[in-house]
Structure 1
Amino acid sequence: MTVFDKSERLIWAGQGAAYAGSFAKLCAYAVPQLLDAAEVGPGSRVLDVGTGPGTVAAAACARGATVTAVDAEPTMVELAMQAAPAADVRVAALPRLPFTDGEFDAVVANFVLNHVGRPKMALAELRRVVRPNGWIALTIWAVPPAAGQTLIGRAIQAAGAVRPPHLPAGLAPDDDFPRDDSGLTGLMDAAGLSEAVCETLRWDHHASADEWWSGPASGVAFGGQLVQSQTPRIRAEIKRHFDLFSAEFAGEDGLLRLPHAALLARARR
């Protein structure tokens, strides 16, 4: 386990409910396209890696698939069990999964690869557990990010927040890859996958300012941990800038309209 992986475990510890009430709705947008890309349908044996609160697992079950779902965080697993009672949900994490070679017809990972320290190794493990010619489909956030993705980060930067030592700067240079179409398909090729293709998903996420702020205020994800680690004065400044910048995205109904962009890729074993 890398330093990055260890930090991710700490960042997400106990955050299941807070994530479900904030950013989970955002990540749910890509689920139908993700399952389509993996050709998930009735009778498919599907592994959902990094299931979070079980959104993907529940949607795959609704398609008639036989679903196994894993997550590294126990509070996420508890929520996933409730969301997808027909699925086999358990605690497990990349880069080592407790399954036999070729056990699944399809493997999906919704916004998971951005949370692992060695993405190529993680993809190789996904390749191991899918059957020959089976599909692996995944999503990650695109770089450069869309305007809505930068709102919280802009507020943090404008307030002069300082990164605490327990939050790593990012992946080791040898493990990182460009977060664009060619970078992601190239990573899949390097992991031994074939027929890799990638597309960009773009959408406006609608949320109230209070809902969107609840994530970082509760310490969810890297940004939330960064917010919580600041002094009370800096935290207040972050919130002030968040309120100021949020006005740029406000709609007539009072909700924020936050543009987002993600990469959706698939490849075969």
Structure 2
Amino acid sequence: MTLQRSGGAAAFSASAEAYAATMAPALRPVAREVIRRAELRAGETVLDIGTGTGTAAGLATGDGRRVVGLDAAAGMLQIARREVPEVEFVEADFTDLPLADGSIQVVVAVHALLFADDCVATLAEWRRVVAPGGRISLSVPGPGTVVPAVVLHGVYDRYDITWGDDYPTEGELAGWAEAAGWEGIQTAADPTIAISLADADQFRSWLRVGSRGRASADWSAERRAQFALDLMNATPRTADGAYRLPFGALYLSGRRSL
């Protein structure tokens, strides 16, 4: 059995409230850095790809900018529209954008790219909708030494879950972007980003969002419950009792040539 990072749009929709309570707060500092690296200017049109509950889209608003948030999960967008009403949200697949060539000045994406089957082709599709001279700023989980599976691998092994390190290095991420036609690539890594879960209920909510593929469909309810308990017991805790899982972030920025 292989640990999957994506359960598809339906799974994201079903877990939207859990995502809003657990992953969205953890990713807010990452979104803030992605927006900072985008160097947004007044009046630009910004596309937030894989917007989820709209965190990065909300941070991109202001100075007369038009901000569009795109996601394939209707449940996520329902929350995003409620939380960030000033943003225009579109339900669509980020590998086939419903936008005209060169219609966007800036693309941002927070921990979304690795849900694509072909990252180079996806980055090329994102480049298609960016005007000449436009920019991209994104993040992905990593480095691979600080993702949750590194802490939890012992539990995954006991349950025969293959969790391999398939997160890119900075060099690999830059290579994907260059192969997709982006120029002026810059990367950075922040291994200090972590998911903080206040209690067991939040931990179980995170399991519904951040550890997809973790349990076989034919497992009994008892085995699933034991799996969750084993994961909790393997997770480091802070002085106040919160669960803390390293997550990390690799950042990439670049531009489309004039």
TM-score interval, normalised by the smaller of the two chains:
0.7 to 0.9
SS in structure 1 opposite 2:126? helix
- Distance (whole Å) between structure 2 residues aligned to residue 253 and residue 58 of structure 1: 31
1:261 to 238, 248, 258: 248
| Partner of residue 38, structure 2 | 38
1:53 offset after TM fit, Å? 0.4
Is the Cα contact below 8 Å between 2:5 and 2:212 reproduced in 1? no
Unaligned 5+ segments in structure 1 are 164-168, 171-176
| Partner of residue 173, structure 1 | none
1:213 offset after TM fit, Å? 2.8
2:220 to 218, 224, 231: 231
Q: TM-score, normalised by structure 2?
A: 0.86
Number of equivalences:
249
1:132 offset after TM fit, Å? 0.8
- Distance (whole Å) between structure 2 residues aligned to residue 126 and residue 63 of structure 1: 24
* Correspondence 1:26 to 2:13: no
- Distance (whole Å) between structure 1 residues aligned to residue 126 and residue 147 of structure 2: 31
SS in structure 1 opposite 2:125? helix
Instruction: Output aligned runs, 1:116-127, within 5 Å.
Output: 116-127=116-127
1:25 offset after TM fit, Å? 1.6
1:122 offset after TM fit, Å? 0.8
Instruction: Output aligned runs, 1:170-181, within 5 Å.
Output: 179-181=168-170
| Partner of residue 212, structure 1 | 203
- Distance (whole Å) between structure 2 residues aligned to residue 60 and residue 239 of structure 1: 36
- Distance (whole Å) between structure 2 residues aligned to residue 204 and residue 9 of structure 1: 25
1:202 offset after TM fit, Å? 2.5
- Distance (whole Å) between structure 2 residues aligned to residue 11 and residue 156 of structure 1: 21
* Correspondence 1:242 to 2:237: no
The 1:213–1:155 alpha-carbon spacing in structure 2 relative to 1, beyond 3 Å, is farther
SS in structure 2 opposite 1:40? coil
1:203 offset after TM fit, Å? 2.1
| Partner of residue 174, structure 1 | none
Unaligned 5+ segments in structure 2 are none
> Structure 1 vs Structure 2: percent identity of aligned residues?
25
More displaced stretch, 185-194 vs 39-48: 39-48
CA RMSD in angstroms, aligned pairs only: 2.6
Q: TM-score, normalised by structure 1?
A: 0.82
